[in-house]
Structure formats: structure tokens, C-alpha cells
Structure 1
Amino acid sequence: MKNLFIKKMYTLWKEFLPLSISDVTMAMGDPMVNTALAHMPRTQENFAALGFIKSIVVLFESPIISMLHASNALSGKKESREALWRFLFISCGILTTCLLILAIPTVFYWLSVNLFGISNEISSIAHKMFLCLLLWPSSIAIRRYFQGILIINGKQKTLAHAGFFRFFVLLISLFIGFLLNINSGILAGGSMMIGVLAETIFVIFAAQKYRNTFKETKSQKEDIHHLNPKSVKEIWIYYWPLAHSMVLVWGGRALLILFLARAADSSISLAIWPVTWALVLVFANTTRMIQQVIIRNKEKYHPYDFIIFALSVGSILSFFILFLVTSTLGKNTLILFIGQNENLLNGVQKILTICFCIPIFVAMQNVLQGLLMGVGKTKEINFATLSGTAILLMISFLGIYLNFSGAVVAAYSMIISFIIEILILSIKVPWNYYINKYLKR
């Protein structure tokens, strides 16, 4: 029995690691950009501008973040994959048009200065970043569609190679731009865009030979829970709760920036929180591919095997965050990323200490979402996300209203929102269905 358990964990880790590398290299992009900005004039303003722009761009990216999950879950059949491809192009067209409208200077500055309360100096840097990132959501959507095709064909290592390629291109772009003394906004936004375009092109070419390969299993054909949408309308019915969930998540985090801009210590909080959250996501995002492993193997393992696996992943990554704030090497690493600003360093260390458990929460969130997605319960995911986001905004608004430190309020609000969301998801998962499926095998 013990050997069987070890074998299960080994198999899950073996499938997970190549996928996680793709997310790690993606998440490492923000700290690398922060490192470049930390060694340029107006460091604090650069950090604040990048944090603001990332919240806006990722908000527009959020509707298509679940494209990978949908591609992985639905691409086993030709009709579903082709319908998803048509849906993808419609979505990309709408999102890019919205970004182009928002990029108009009068619209952008009204949003940043009047609505978010960002200073003119930070808004000027942010606008240059934004212009460089107009194709960001479309590039991400197309990349994730083809990543799903690669995963369903067992080509996880290709995703890792693509991630390394993106990281290398980003690093080279930052290095060249820094040497040429390019404007900080253009350097940050341009390097990020070049990096993601490079990864997207890599994945497209890698997935071409699998475009007409389909992997529907016998159990999927017989399973009443297995969905087979054949039109854009049917794709939308399946997908909209996932898209709405991500819009809620990133919309809430964008509003968090709005709240921070009105905190008593807004100037330093607007710099500390985005930088710290980017570091936390380096570790937390490493767990996201747990969901893809579950969607692909949902009937091969007992659901509790997935939970134990997720806890092992999240615990290791949480340990690394603690290492950053408790060791001399960790402190030196932080200085490398954010520079010698003592106020920033102390603030980042404090928030990392509070948020060290986030990778565990994200790992559990992905397990539960994957189990729900495997039986088409996407509306339940949406409800849990709505509840968590509402808690996030309520607590952060109250904390800032009471004049607590903005970054500290953001950290505690984020933790509580994750706990609420995980509790709701765990109630909604059809545990008996999965247990019976496993026992029948």
C-alpha cells in the first residue's frame, strides 16, 4: 500500500514538473522586469506604474486565462476544438478593440488619474507600458489554446522548453534595452510583450502536427458528464462561468490597487504590494498546472491523492518564501530584485512573511477547481470566486478606511479571501462521484 502511494505521488510529480516550469518561467518575468526597473531612475514610480499596468492588462487578459483549461478539457473531439478556435478569435478581437480604446490618451489618463488616483508622473510611465502591451491578451489566448493541445497529447516537456525560450528572450530584451538606456516604461512593456510573443510562436509551431490529432478516451465517450460543445454558442455556455470567475479575480485585484491609492501610506504601498505580489506569484503560480494534471487524470486517482499531492507542492513552495525572509541569502536575493531602498526592502519582507502560505492555498484551489471542471460544474467555480472576491474587497476597503497600512491590509485580505473560496469549492465538489469512479477502476 505504501509503495502504491509513493508510486502515485511520483507519477503525479513527474507529469506536473514540466508543466510547472512553464508557469515558473512566466512568473519570473515580473521580478526580472522589476530588477531592471530597480536599477533605473525613479524606482518607486516605476514599480507603481508597472503594478498599475499589470492589474489593468491582466484584467483584460482574465477572460481568456481559462482557455488552457478549456482546450485541455474539450480538445479531445474535433468539433469541440474547432468551435473553441472560432470562439478564441472572436474573444481576441473584442479584447484587443477594448484595449485600443483604453489606450487613447484622454481615456487612459482619466482612468489612471481621476478614477484610480494615480499621479501624473506614474500615469505617464504607465501609458508607455500600456501601449507596448496592446496584443498581450490575444497572445496569451492563442498560446494557451495550443498549450492545451500539447498537454492532451502528452507533450508537457514542450511547454517547459517554450517557457525557457520566453524567459531567455525577455532577459535579452531587458539587457539590451537597459544598455541602450531606453525609457523605463517602454523597456518594461516592450520586453514583456516580446517575451510572450516569442513563447506564443514557439508553442504554435510545436503544436502544428497535433492540430488534427484527437484523444477522446472510451470512458469519456460513455461518461454523461463529458461535454462535447460543437458550436461557439455551446462553447460560451461552458466557458462563460470560467471567464467570469477570472474577471472577478483580476477585477478585484485591480480594485485593490484603487484602494491602495487611497491608503494613508499610498505612496509606499503602491510600490510594495505589486512588487511583493509578483514575488509571491513566482511560487504560487508554480502550482497552477496542478489543475491540468487533474483534468487529464481525474478518473485515474482517488481525489484525496490529488489533495495530498497539492499539499506537498504548495508546502515546498511556501517554504521557499519563508527562506527568502528568514535567511541572509534570501535577503540578498531580495536586494537584487528590488534594489537598496530600505523602506521597500522592509515592507516587502513584512508582506512576504504574511503571505508565505499563499502557494498552499493556490494549490488547493486548483485541485478543487480541476475536480469541478472535470464534471462541467463551472458555475460553482464562479460562485466561489465571486464570494472570495467580495470578501477581498470588503476587508481591504474596511482596513484602509480604518487607516491601516495599505500593503498589510491587502495581504491579510488576500489570505482570508482564499480561505473562503477554498471552503466553498470543497463543499461543491462531487466527492462521491469521483470516489466511485476510482473504485470502479
Structure 2
Amino acid sequence: MLPLLRLYLPLALSFELMMLEGPSVQWAIGRLPQIPTNLAAWGLTMQLSLLIESPVIMLLATATALVKNTDTFLALRTFMLRIALGCTIVTAAIAFTPLLDFICLSLLGQPTPIVEASRLPLQLMLLWSAAIAWRRFHQGVLVRQGRTALVTYGTAIRLASVVLPALALVAWGKLSGAATAAIAIMVGVLAEALSASSFARPVIRSLPTHTDDDPLSQKAIAAFHTPLAMTTLLTLAAQPLTSAAIARLPFATQTLAAAPVMFSALLLLRGWGFAVQEITVAQLKKGTTPEATLSRFASLIGVSSTLATLLLALTPLCERYASALGVPADLHSLVRQGILWGALLPLIAAISSFVRGVLVARQHTQPIYRGMALGLTIQVLVLVAGVVAKFPALPLAALAFTLGGIAETAYLMAARRLTR
């Protein structure tokens, strides 16, 4: 298992460094005026941005599975550029038109001050999806060739490129917290996109130029990638739906402000599990590690991450974490409740990532989409029931994510057995 750990750690550290962006920009927001409004506005901005970019996130897994030679690299690059353009057009249509008001006010029921505070940040993130697409594609090429350490270096560059502008803009103090966060995040993703393509250049030059396989068509790429993209879309749709539920419960502004802090903490702890998928795909494609070994490894990562979550939620570490970010003291208990109710999410992330990786390696991606649809359905039902029952907002959000994740993982495990 040690060789597997050596491959896993650089990629996992890349995920963790990426997850540190959230706390970093929340720290910046916590040192500028109108903290609750800007925390909530930044949460809304990120939810919309992530939802728009959902078709590009799984380009890493797609590139890991499909890029074998120069021809497949070029075919997938064309596919990536088309998706990136489409996502950029969607961002512009929402950020620069009244469509933002329709989505956020009419559909999601967000308070007007929060929506207004999110408008400029979303406009500043116009190129977010394109930068992520470029980065994920080139990272997939690196992972396919076993160069996971370079992925970590790129993410370290990204984190530094987020922190430095955030510090400068906080010192300047002329922009809102949410706008400061948007600029810092955009500088970071652009820096990582450039570094990823730079790191991948020697690997791309070394790819074989000839193959006996049939050419990889755009239709074939779409057939492989679409279920993965739909999976991500359904996953990320859960957060705006959760915000819509929170907005309909008591103390909406406070809970919407605490929610990004809770979710970023849980995301940081779940990140160790997310990295399992790419390692599983790469190892099964190479045939170097048995599924049973990968399954035990995923379980170890998941249990360890869940224990760390409980440690955070049940000790003074939670208050120290929230205080370090500048979160107002009256929101600390809300953050703690949400993290405690979401303690199983890191374990679920690791197990589901392993099973998804197995299905991707077998090129059976349809069950992944169906599993996510089931999970989202369960999540929505829990949210609706919680709103009707006036359940506390952040525990409700964490419970909905947990039950949805359990349902999805159970379905994926059944699909894995059927596709042996």
C-alpha cells in the first residue's frame, strides 16, 4: 500500500491546497466591512460559478481515461475548448443581465442585499470556467502519465496566487469582501491553469504519435464525458437548492453567512476522499493495483477523515477555526452544528470516489449519473421535509447531503457488482 500512498499523497495534497482557497478568502472577507452579507454573497457567487462550470470539472477524469497519444490529446483538447466557450457564454448571460435577479430572487429566494452584493463578484469571475477547463484537462494528462507531484506544485502556485492578492486587497480596503474574494480566486485559477499547461508540455511531447486504435471522435468523447458532467452538475446543483431551503427558514441571513464557512470546512475534510477517484482510475487502467487494495485504501482514507471531522466539531478547534477566519462570534455555534451533522460526509466521499473510479476505468459511466440523480432526489426530499418541519437550517443542510450521499453510494456499489 505504500507505493499507492506515494502516488495518492501528491494528488490529495493538490485537492487540499485547492480547498484551502475557501478559508483563505473567507479570512479576507472577515477583515472587511459587512461580514455577514459578504460571506453570504460570496457563498452565492461560488454556488453559481461552480454550477456553471460543472461540465468541465470531470475533464480531469476524462483526460486520465482517454488521452493515450497525440491524436487523442488533440481530440480531447478540441472538446475541452468547446465546453469552456459554452460555460463562459452562460456566465456572461447570468452575470451581466437581469437573469441573475430572476435566478437568485425569484427561484432561490435569496435576500436582495445578498444578491446585489454578489453581482460584481460574479462578473469578475467571467473566465473562471474556461481557466478551470484548461487546468483540469492538462492535469488529467499529467495524472495519466503518473506525474501527480506536478499537480500538487500547480495547486501550491494557485494557493499562493490567491493569498497574495487577497492580502493586498484587504490592505487597500476599497472593495467589498465578496469582490476581493472573486479577484483573488480568479488570479489563482489563471496562475494554476498556466502552470498546468507548462508542466504538461514535456509530457505531451512524449506521447506516442501513432496507434492502431480507431480515431477518438467528438461524439465518442461526449458519450463518455456527458454522464460524468451530469454527475457533477447534479452534485453542484445541490448547493443552490440548499441555499433556497435555508432562505426559507428562520434567521436566513445569519445561516446563509455561516453556511460557506461550514461547507468549506467539510470540503477541506472531504478533499482527501475526492482524490481517491483519479488514483483509482489511473491504477486500474495500468493494471498495477487490485481493486480490493484500492477499496481498503479508500476506506482507510474515509474513516480517518471522518474522525478528523468529529475532532473539529467536538473540541474547541471549531471556535478557533471560525475565529481565525474572522467569523462573528454569534455564528460559531451554527458552524459547529453543521460540521457535526456532516461528520459522515468525508467517509462517504472516499467510498463513492473509489466506486466511481472503478466505473470510469471500466468505461461504464451511465450508472454514475443515475446514482447522482438518486442522491439529489433524496436530498431535495429531505430539504423539503425540513423546511416544512422548520428544522434548524445548517443541520438540515448537512443531513440532506449525508442521506443523499448514502443513497448514491449504495446505488454505485450495486452498479459496480453488476458490471464486473
- TM-score of the two chains, using structure 1 as the length reference: 0.90
**1:305-320 to 2 correspondences below 5 Å:** 305-320=293-308
Give the match for residue 206 of structure 2.
213
- Please list the CA deviations of residues 217-267 of structure 1 after superposition, one character each: whole Å capped at 9, or x if unmatched: x9xx9xxxxx96611111111111111111111112222211211123322
Deviation at 1:274, TM superposition (A): 2.2
| Counterpart contact for 1:324–1:334, Cα < 8 Å | no
Deviation at 1:287, TM superposition (A): 1.9
1:395 to 344, 357, 382: 382
Give the match for residue 201 of structure 1.
194
Q: Percent identity?
A: 22
Give the match for residue 3 of structure 1.
none
Give the match for residue 85 of structure 1.
77
1:244 to 212, 217, 230: 230
2: CA distance, partners of 1:110 / 1:427: 40
1: CA distance, partners of 2:182 / 2:419: 47
Give the match for residue 288 of structure 1.
274
1:156 to 148, 151, 155: 148
2:239 maps to 1:253 = yes
Letter in 2 for 1:119: P
**1:37-436 to 2 correspondences below 5 Å:** 37-183=29-175, 184-214=177-207, 230-298=216-284, 299-339=287-327, 341-430=328-417, 433=420
Letter in 1 for 2:62: A
| Counterpart contact for 2:96–2:123, Cα < 8 Å | no
| Counterpart contact for 1:29–1:170, Cα < 8 Å | yes
Deviation at 1:90, TM superposition (A): 0.9
2: CA distance, partners of 1:406 / 1:349: 12
Q: Which runs of 5+ in 2 are unaligned?
A: none
- Please list the CA deviations of residues 400-429 of structure 1 after superposition, one character each: whole Å capped at 9, or x if unmatched: 122111211111111001110110000011
Q: In the superposition, relative to structure 1, how do residues 308 and 114 fare at CA in structure 2: closer, same or farther (>3 Å)? A: same
Q: Which runs of 5+ in 1 are unaligned?
A: 1-8, 222-226, 434-441
Deviation at 1:195, TM superposition (A): 0.6
| Counterpart contact for 1:166–1:196, Cα < 8 Å | yes
Letter in 2 for 1:195: G
| Counterpart contact for 1:229–1:235, Cα < 8 Å | no
| Counterpart contact for 1:99–1:134, Cα < 8 Å | yes
Q: In the superposition, relative to structure 1, how do residues 215 and 415 fare at CA in structure 2: closer, same or farther (>3 Å)? A: farther
Deviation at 1:328, TM superposition (A): 3.2
Letter in 2 for 1:176: A
How many correspondences in the alignment? 416
1: CA distance, partners of 2:143 / 2:137: 10
- Please list the CA deviations of residues 21-46 of structure 1 after superposition, one character each: whole Å capped at 9, or x if unmatched: 11111111011111111122211111
Letter in 1 for 2:309: I
2: CA distance, partners of 1:145 / 1:374: 17
- Please list the CA deviations of residues 50-70 of structure 1 after superposition, one character each: whole Å capped at 9, or x if unmatched: 111111100011111110000
2: CA distance, partners of 1:396 / 1:368: 26
Deviation at 1:431, TM superposition (A): 7.3
What CA RMSD, in Å, does the superposition of the two structures yield over aligned residues? 1.9
2: CA distance, partners of 1:302 / 1:296: 12
| Counterpart contact for 1:368–1:429, Cα < 8 Å | yes
2: CA distance, partners of 1:329 / 1:432: 43
Match of 1:230, SS state, is coil
- Please list the CA deviations of residues 319-341 of structure 1 after superposition, one character each: whole Å capped at 9, or x if unmatched: 222222233344322311243x2
Letter in 2 for 1:193: M
